[in-house]
Amino acid sequence: MFHSRAKALNQARSRLLLHFSNLIKLQPYNTLRRPNKPKTKPRRERPHRDAAKLRKPIPFVSDVKEVQDPGEAMYLFREYHEMGFKHDYPSYSALIYKLARNRNFEAVETILGHVRDRNIHCKDTLFIALIQHYGKANLVEKAIELFHQMPSFICVRTLQSFNSLLNVLVDSDRFANATEIFCRCNQMGFRPNSISYNIMIKGWLKKGEPEEARKVFDEMLEKKVQPSVVTYNSLIGFFGRKGEMEKATGLLEDMKQKGKYPNAVTYALLMEGLCTVGKYEEAKKMMFDMEYRGCKPRLLNYGVLISDLGRRRKIEEAKSLIQEMKKRRLKPDVVIYNVLINFLCKEGRAIEAYKVLIEMQVGGIEPNAATYRMMVDGFCHIEDFDGGLKVLVAMLKSKHCPRLKTLECLVTGLLKCGNIGGACFVLEEMEKRNMQLCFEAWEAPVVDACGKDLVAGEIMTKVISAH
């Protein structure tokens, strides 16, 4: 029964697309090609440098970096082999990096099998990168297994690879495993360094147990491992976010006494804490105090203040702060602009947000996926669906794509405002990406397509509602 209804719905969907396409002759939305970069003049070779000592580029490695499709990378690998090219570690590692970035881990394991069978000496940097990729893909068991298999690849496990696995375990909420492996660190022949301890401190703070984090901190001192600025920043950030500013500022004084210089991140975390407890003016004053103490404010310090102003709906003050940044010769980046665009869109001021988008592009800053998504959602929020479509076209040209929910809202809105061509364009782009409207989203356009045929409209509504 379900399959017959689904088939009926698919047939209705096909008729609907045909119906809309016949109503209006769609103008093609051509993707503009980026102009070719002007050729730069080759640099003159320095006479004192021995050209023979320069490393020659490996043809396969250069070619595989240019391709995007992992299948094409595998084809290149085989093609070079058939031409008599002898693949060695640089070739295998370049291919593995390409496959891992595309999360084609089945192929990664196949290539690793070839590497082991051919007794190719590997560097630990390859396995560190793979452990991190496994962590991002939530394949933690694979990361653990790979770490233990490293010696079979004629590769010595290092403290850096140990720290990489430790960090993956903490970030993946496998803190029990992280604690276990950390306790066996000496048995594995490693002496934990400040990075190892910082990861464990981060893990305890993530669990909301600052006392345990403090014990790890004290253990560092006992083992003569010097805490780094990162160590202090982790603790300061934790107490700042909880609004416990006395503890946060106490740590700042402690790090100064131990000869550690706070950096821009340290001050940003303190400023964020002050904003959390409603002390914006003190946070702003701290930004100028840090400059007096020899630490120049960076974008993240301004970002803290702009975010707080946005949350309190003081958009004009946030804009003024951006102008102040420019006067200080600090160029706002896409993150700063995104903060402003986000709050403007939430306030229903998508037109102003779009002007900010144009401003950042004029200034030479390319919007990222988040920028476009906020703008499309912002236009949909104020029901300016034509404006949303305009941003969507630019977004697709930049090879970004909005969320399915946004596209559903855009299609429905475009149909309601009579822009059938735009709606069909969005549907076609969704089809290219294997994205489909949910049954509920199809109900309104199907009924609209049926027009005054009430019987047909009722039948299609029943078909859709049955799923």
* Model confidence at 225: pLDDT above 80: yes
For residue 184, give every residue at least 6 positions away whose Cβ sits within 8 Å of its Cβ, in sequence order, or none. none
How many helices and strands (H and E) does the chain possess?
A: 25, 0
Q: By three-state DSSP, how is residue 93 classified? A: helix
Q: What is the rounded CA–CA span in Å between residue 389 and residue 411?
A: 9
The span from the CA of 94 to the CA of 92, in Å, is 6
DSSP conformational letter for 26: P
Confidence label for 449 from pLDDT (cuts 50, 70 and 90)? low
Higher model confidence: residue 373 or residue 74? Answer: 373
**What single-letter DSSP state applies at residue 151?**
G
- Residue 119 is which amino acid? N
CA distances from 287 to 243, 295, 300 (A): 18, 9, 11
Q: Are 378 and 344 in contact (CB under 8 A)?
A: yes
Tell me 30's DSSP state. Answer: P
Position 418 scores a pLDDT of 85
Residue 426 and residue 357: Cα distance in Å, rounded?
22
pLDDT of residue 66: 81
Average pLDDT rounded to a whole number, residues 27-49: 42
The winner for highest mean pLDDT among 50-59, 262-271, 452-461 is 262-271
Consecutive H or E run containing 194: helix 194-206
- Mean pLDDT, range 414-443, rounded to an integer: 82
Average pLDDT over residues 407-415: 90
The pLDDT value given to residue 264: 96
Whether residue 434 has pLDDT greater than 50 = yes
| pLDDT-above-90 percentage for the chain | 61
Q: Does 33 score more than 90 pLDDT?
A: no
* pLDDT of 44 higher than 90: no
Question: In 10 A of CB 460, how many CB atoms?
Answer: 22
Enter the tokens of residue 150.
């490293």
- Local confidence band at 432 (pLDDT 50, 70, 90 cut-offs): confident
Longest dimension (CA), the chain: 87
Contact call for residues 92 and 127 (beta carbons, < 8 A): no
Say what the pLDDT of residue 24 is. Answer: 40
- pLDDT beyond 50 at 5: no
Inform me whether the pLDDT recorded for 165 exceeds 80: yes
Q: Which pLDDT belongs to residue 239?
A: 95
Q: How confident is the model at residue 447 (pLDDT cuts 50, 70, 90)?
A: low
Instruction: Report pLDDT digits (tens) over 267-282.
Output: 999 999 999 999 999 9
Question: Cα torsion for 365, 410, 380, 466, to the nearest 10°?
Answer: -140
The stretch 315-333 carries a mean pLDDT of 91
Query: Token match 């310090």: residue?
Result: 301
Q: How far is CA 353 from the centre of its chain?
A: 22
Residue among 225, 229, 309 at smallest CA distance from 269: 229
HSE (side-chain half, CA atoms, 13 Å) at 226: 6
Tell me: pLDDT of 175 over 90: yes
Q: Give the pLDDT band (50/70/90) at residue 463.
A: very low
Residue 440 has pLDDT above 90, yes or no: no
Q: Residue 30: pLDDT above 80?
A: no
Residues near 193 by beta carbon (within 8 Å), at least 6 away in sequence: 159, 163, 225
Reduced to 3 states, what is the DSSP secondary structure of residue 192? coil
Q: Residue 330 pLDDT more than 70?
A: yes
pLDDT at 260 > cutoff 80: yes
Q: Per-residue pLDDT averaged across 380-387, rounded?
A: 94
- 3-state DSSP assignment of residue 60: helix
Query: What pTM was estimated for this model as a whole?
Result: 0.74
Give mean pLDDT, residues 234-255: 94
E strands within 329-409? none
pLDDT tens track for 71-109: 888 888 888 877 888 888 988 899 999 999 989 999 999
Q: Tell me what pLDDT residue 61 has.
A: 81
Q: What is each CA distance from 301 to 224, 263, 283, 370, 466, in whole angstroms?
A: 32, 11, 9, 21, 54
Q: What is the pLDDT of residue 1?
A: 45
* pLDDT at position 159 over 60: yes
Q: Are 411 and 441 in contact (CB under 8 A)?
A: yes
388 or 63: which leads in pLDDT: 388
DSSP conformation letters of 387-414:
HHHHHHHHHHHTT----HHHHHHHHHHH
- What is the rounded average pLDDT for all residues in the chain? 84
Judge whether residue 340 has pLDDT over 50.
yes
- The residue type of 102 is N
CA distances from 151 to 90, 110, 157, 304, 358 (A): 19, 18, 7, 45, 53
Instruction: Report whether pLDDT(12) > 50.
Output: no
3-state secondary structure of 134: helix
